[in-house]
A and B are shown apart, each in its own frame.
Chain A
Amino acid sequence: MPTISVGRDRLFAAIGKTYTREEFEGLCFRFGIELDDVSTEKAIIRKEKHLEEEEDGDDEEVLYKIEVPANRYDLLCLEGIAQALRIFNGLQEMPTYKVVNISRKSMIKMHVKPETSSIRPYVLCAVLRGIKFDEVTYNSFIDLQDKLHQNICRRRTLVAIGTHDLDTLHGPFTYEALPPSSINFVPLKQEKNFRADELMGFYKSDLKLKKFLHIIENSPVFPVIYDYKRTVLSLPPIINGAHSAITLKTKNVFIECTATDLTKAKIVLNTVVTTFSEYCERKFEIEPVEVIYSDGKSVVYPDLSFYNMEVPLSYITGAIGVPLEADEVTSLLNRMQLCAKQSVSGDCNSNITVSVPPTRNDVLHPCDVMEDVAIAYGYNNIKDITIAKGYNVSKGRAVSLKPLRLEEFSHLIRLEMAMCGFTEVLSFILCSLNDNFAMLNHEGDSSNAVIIENPRSSENETARTSLMPGILKTIGQNKAHPKPIKIIHGLVERIMLVIGLVPPDDNTTFYLKPSDDPEFVMGTQASIIYKGKRIGTSGIVHPEVLNKFDIPDPCAYFELSIQCFF
C-alpha cells in the first residue's frame, strides 16, 4: 500500500476542519485509509541519521504519514485526500471537471512519429492554464508525479510523466524515436549539453535515475519530445530538459505522459490534471491537446468523460444485507465521489444510475459501487443488524462432512509418534541447494528438486526433497539440549503396525530393503518398500553428513511418505 506524507495543519485547513489525532484516526478508519505515523520533518531527518531523540520544537510542522489503497491514485497527494474527506464529510459536492471547449484549430498539437511504436507508442497531453503555485503546492505537484511513477506507472515502465513551463516552449510538438547519438540537450538539474547515449552513461551513477535506464537502454532508438524549435522537452522515461523546467513562477503547465499502456496513461494524465486544476485560474478546467498520429488519426486528451453504470438497488442492498432506500443509496454514493441518481427500470425495480468520474478509475463493476455504499453506510454499522439476527448459519453448510484424509491421517501419525516419545519439529520447506544435496553427501545432484529463479538469499534456493536437512539443522542448532533427542528413530515397524500393516516378514505389503544412499552409513540403511515402491528411507546418518551439520552425536534417521497410503 502506498503511503504519503502530508503536513497536518495544511491537511486540516484543506479539509476545513481540525481534528485530534484520535478523531482523525477514526475518520481514516471509516473511510478506508490509515494514519500510519505522526512525525516532524526534523524527526524524520534525525531518524535517518540515527541521531538522538530531541524535543520537537513548537515551530516544527507535524507530518502525517497516511496509507492509501493501492488502486486509489486520486488519493496520492494532499489535495486528493482532502477533497475525498471533504466530500465524505458532506462539506463539499463532487466538482465537475471540464475540458475547455476550444476549436481543434486552436488546440496545441502533438505529432507522433511512427518510429515511437517500437519503443513507447503512446503520448497523451494536456495543459493547466493560469495555475498558481506556492512552495507547498509545487512540492505536492512534484510528489504526486513521483508517487504515480512508483505505483500505477510501475517505476516508469508503463507510463512516465513530464511537466513543462509552456511559456518557454513553442508548439506544435513532436514525439519521436531517434538514435541516441542524434539527441542532444541540457537535462534537468544540469548545465551542460549531453548526447543521449552519453547521458545514459552519466546517469549510471545517479541513485535515483539509474533504476529507469534499463527501460530504453538497449533500444536502437530513444523516445524524445521536441517543440517546434527543436528544444527537447523530455527524454522519456528518464529525464526532462532543463529548458522547460517548471518553477514556482510557472503559470501554464504543459503535461505529457508517454506510455506503453494506454489505459494507465489516461488514468495518470487524468489524475494529474483533475487534482491540480483546483489551483487553475478557472477552477477544474483543463485545456485539451490534440495528439496526431502519422496515419492522420487524431485523439484529443484529456478524456474526462464519466463512465455510466446502471446498478439495481436490489443488488446493492442484497449484497450488503441492509435494507436501504434509493435516496439513501444515492446520498451515500455522493459522499464517495460517485454521482448517483435514482432511476426506474421497465419492471418497476429501482435502479441507481451511477456516473463514475474520471478520478475514480478503481470503479470497474457494480460491486465497487456496492462497496462504496457499504463504506459510506459504515461497515461497523452493519454489525448491529447481523448480530441481532446472527449470520445465516445454514448458508453453504453441508449436511454431513468428510475430513480430508491426508490431514486426518498425518495428524494421527503425529500423535502416534509423539506417544512413542518423539518431539515434533517444524522445519522450513525452503532451503539451499547445498542443504538439500551436498550436505547430505549428494554432491552434484539436483534431480527431483524444484529450483527458485529469484531467491533473496541462498536459504531460499529450492524446496526440500526430504525432511532430512531441516531435522539435522534443528539438531545442529540444539547441541546443548540433553540427549537423547528423539526426533526420529527406528519407528518404522511401529508406524506400519498402527497403519495396520503386517510386520516385515510378509514381503507382499512392505519390507526393508538394504540400500546404498550416501547420506547413511553402509550396512545400516534400508529403503522402505511398499507395494513394490520405495516410500521411505532409514539408516544411521553418515558421519560426514553429521560433521557438515555440526552434530557431535550419532543420529538414526527415518523418513516415510504417507501419501501412498491412500
Chain B
Amino acid sequence: MAEEAILGYLAKNQEIADSGEFAAQHGLNHDDVVNVVKSLHGFRYVDAQDIKRETWVLTDEGKTYAASGSPEVQLFLAIPPEGIPLEELQKKLDPLLFKIGRAQAAKNKWVEMGKQLVSRKVQHVDDTVKDLLLQIEGGKVINQDDIKVLKGRKLIATQTWNGYSVRKGPEYAPQRKKFAADLTREMLQSGEWKNLEFKEYNFNAKGQPIEGGHLHPLNKVRHQLRMIFLQMGFEEMPTDRFVESSFWNFDALFQPQQHPARDSHDTFYMKVPAITKELPEDYVERVKRVHESGGYGSRGYEYDWNRDEAIKNLLRTHTTAISTRMLYLLAQKPFTPKRYFSIDRVFRNEAVDRTHLAEFHQIEGLICDKGLTLGDLIGVLHDFFSRLGMSKLRFKPAYNPYTEPSMEIFSYHEGFGKWVEVGNSGMFRPEMLLPMGLPEDVRVIAWGLSLERPTMILYGINNIRDLFGHKVDLGLIKTNPICRLGVD
C-alpha cells in the first residue's frame, strides 16, 4: 500500500518533502513508509535523503498524567470542601502520587496544610500540566518555559524522529518489478519465468552445508598414488599380512641377525604366535649360507646364522618383506620381468611424537629385469616424483643392508626453500636376489617412501596424529580438498 502510494505520488509530483507528513496525509503508518523507502532506495527506484528531527515525547509518568490528570489536581479534587484529616487523605491516594501532589499543590498554594485538617485554599483549579502533556502527545509545539517545567519533572523526554525526503531514483518506475527467489516447476510449466527477474544472490553469505559422505585424506592420497603406479605400468602386490617371520622381513633381505634394526627397540616381536612353522627349507639353507660364508661372489657376513632368530614372528617393519616374497615366487618360474608396487601399513616399535607413529604406510615400487642400471633407477625416480610435483631431485649415497648402491632421494621444496629427504632407493644386493634363484643378470631397482609425510606436506598438517588414528578431528576429514597428485 505504502509502496504504491509513494511510487504513484512521485509519478505526478517532484518530491515527497517529508515522509512523516506524507504518512499522515495518506493515512499510512510512518514505520511502513520508512521501510518501503529504504527498500526502494536500495533498488534505486527512489533517492531518499535523511531527515532528522528532535521531538518531545511523554515519559511513562507523563503518559499516566495525560490520561488521569496531574498529581496535584488529583490531590486537590480528593479534598472535600470541608477539609480532611491528613491521614485520611493519605489513604485515598497512591503514596507516590500523594507525595508529588502534596508538594506541587503546596507550591501552587492550592491547599492549606492545617494541623487538624487539610483544606482547599482556592475554589477551582485548572489542570495545565495535563493540558500541556496532551498537546505534546498530539504533536503540538508548546513554549520553552512549559517544556522546561515538564522536562524538570521528567514528564517529557526528547526523541529523534527519522524520516526522509524522497525523489525519483535512476531506476524509477511507477510499479516495482517482481523478483523471484527461486525458479520453480510451476514457473517452467506456466511459462511465467519469461516475465520474471530473479533476486540477486548474496554471494558473500555462506551456503547451506552439503550433507554427504567423505573419504579420509590419507586414503585419497593413497588412491592417487595407486593410480600413478598403475599408469606407470606397475602391478600391485598383495600386502594383506601384517604378521611376518623375521626370515622374510630380515634374513631373506641379507640383513644380518645382529643388525640394530632387528633389536626389540625397533621391532615388534610376537608373543602369540611366537614362531613361524613353515619356511621354504632349501631357500632357508641358501640364505643361511650367504649370511655365513657368502657365495655368489660375496664374502658373506661370517657369523653363525641362527635359525631360531629367523623363525621369530614380528609385525612387518617394511613392505619389502612382501617384495621379497614376490621376488622369491618370481624366481620359482621361468623369468619374466616385473614392475611391482605396494602401499600398506608397516610397524615400528618407536616412541610416538609429532612425526612418528608406531604404524604408518609405506609406499614401495620396484622393477625387476635384466640389464637394469643405476641410470634407470634415477630415471624412474624422476618419472615417479615429478608426477608427485617434485621435479628437482638429487641423490645422496646411503647405507642399507639389502641395497647396493643405495641412494637417499632429496627433493627441493620451494615452500621450505631447502632440500628435503623424500625417500630411499637402491639396487637389491645379489646376496638377496641370487639365493632366491633369480638369474644372475637380473637386477632389481626399488624405492620407498612413507605415505604420511607427503600427505602432511600436501595438506599442511604438522602433527601426524592429526592425520591418522582415532584422535583425528572428523571435521578435518569432511573439509579436506581433493587430492590432485598425478593429475596436475
Contacts and interface: CB of A to CB of B under 8 A. Distances in A.
Interface string B349-372: 111000001110000000111011
A263 B303 contact: yes
Contact of B472 (A69, A426, A452): A426
B429 interface: yes
B230 to A, nearest CB: 7
B298 A365 contact: yes
A385 interface: yes
B406 A423 contact: no
Contacts of A455: 268, 349
A424 B383 contact: no
A319 B431 contact: no
B298 A452 contact: no
Contacts of A404: 235-238
Interface in A450-468: 450-456, 459-460, 463
Contacts of A474: 470, 472, 474
Given A365-B298, A386-B376, A450 B273 contact: yes
Contacts of A414: 215, 219
A387 B379 contact: yes
A45 to B, nearest CB: 24
A494 to B, nearest CB: 12
A321 B375 contact: yes
B470 A423 contact: no
B264 A395 contact: no
B238 A423 contact: no
Given A474-B474, A481-B474, A307 B213 contact: no
Given A424-B216, A474-B472, A456 B397 contact: no
B319 to A, nearest CB: 13
B378 A450 contact: no
A72 B469 contact: no
Contact of B375 (A31, A362, A366, A391): A391
Contact of B395 (A371, A380, A470): A380
A401 B405 contact: no
Given A391-B376, A454-B264, A421 B358 contact: no
Given A451-B270, A459-B358, A392 B398 contact: no
Interface residues of A, number: 91
A220 interface: no
Interface stretch (B54-62, B106-114, B337-345): B337-345
B215 A406 contact: no
Given A387-B382, A455-B349, A426 B405 contact: no
A34 interface: yes
Contact of B299 (A307, A396, A397): A307
B193 interface: no
A395 B232 CA distance: 11
B10 interface: no
A32 interface: yes
B477 interface: yes
B91 interface: no
Nearest to B263: A154
A264 B272 contact: no
A165 B214 CA distance: 72
Given A368-B404, A418-B213, A485 B303 contact: no
Given A421-B213, A470-B470, A451 B272 contact: yes
A428 interface: yes
A386 B230 contact: no
Contacts, number: 261
A470 B431 CA distance: 41
Given A391-B378, A430-B359, A375 B213 contact: no
Given A430-B347, A473-B470, A474-B474, A417 B213 contact: yes
Contacts of B368: 396
A498 interface: no
B226 interface: yes
A382 interface: yes
B470 A398 contact: no
Contact of A31 (B236, B296, B397): B397
Nearest to A366: B297
A99 interface: no
Interface string B378-414: 1110110000000000111111010011110000000
Contacts of B298: 364-365
B184 interface: no
Interface string B190-213: 000000000000000000000111
Interface in A106-160: 151, 154, 158
A30 B406 CA distance: 13
A379 interface: yes
Interface string A283-322: 0000000000000000000000001000000000011111
A456 B265 CA distance: 8
B383 A391 contact: yes
B351 A456 contact: yes
Interface string A369-405: 0110011000110110111001110011110011110
A13 interface: no
Given A382-B374, A391-B376, A364 B294 contact: yes
B253 to A, nearest CB: 14
B269 interface: yes
Nearest to A416: B213
B404 A367 contact: yes
B376 A367 contact: no
Given A380-B394, A391-B378, A419-B213, A396 B297 contact: no
A474 B475 CA distance: 12
B141 to A, nearest CB: 59
B461 interface: no
Interface of B: 211-216, 218-219, 223, 226, 230, 233-238, 240, 242-243, 258, 260, 264, 268-274, 294, 296-303, 315, 337-339, 345, 347, 349-351, 357-359, 367-369, 371-380, 382-383, 394-399, 401, 404-407, 427, 429-431, 443, 468-475, 477-478
29 contacts: A1-B399, A318-B373, A320-B373, A364-B301, A367-B404, A371-B405, A375-B405, A379-B396, A383-B382, A386-B378, A386-B379, A386-B382, A391-B382, A396-B372, A398-B337, A403-B236, A423-B474, A424-B219, A425-B477, A426-B218, A428-B359, A450-B243, A450-B273, A452-B269, A452-B270, A454-B269, A456-B358, A473-B470, A485-B474
Given A380-B394, A429-B345, A451-B271, 16 more contacts: A32-B398, A263-B303, A319-B373, A319-B374, A322-B375, A364-B298, A374-B405, A391-B376, A391-B379, A395-B337, A419-B213, A420-B213, A421-B213, A426-B216, A429-B347, A460-B358
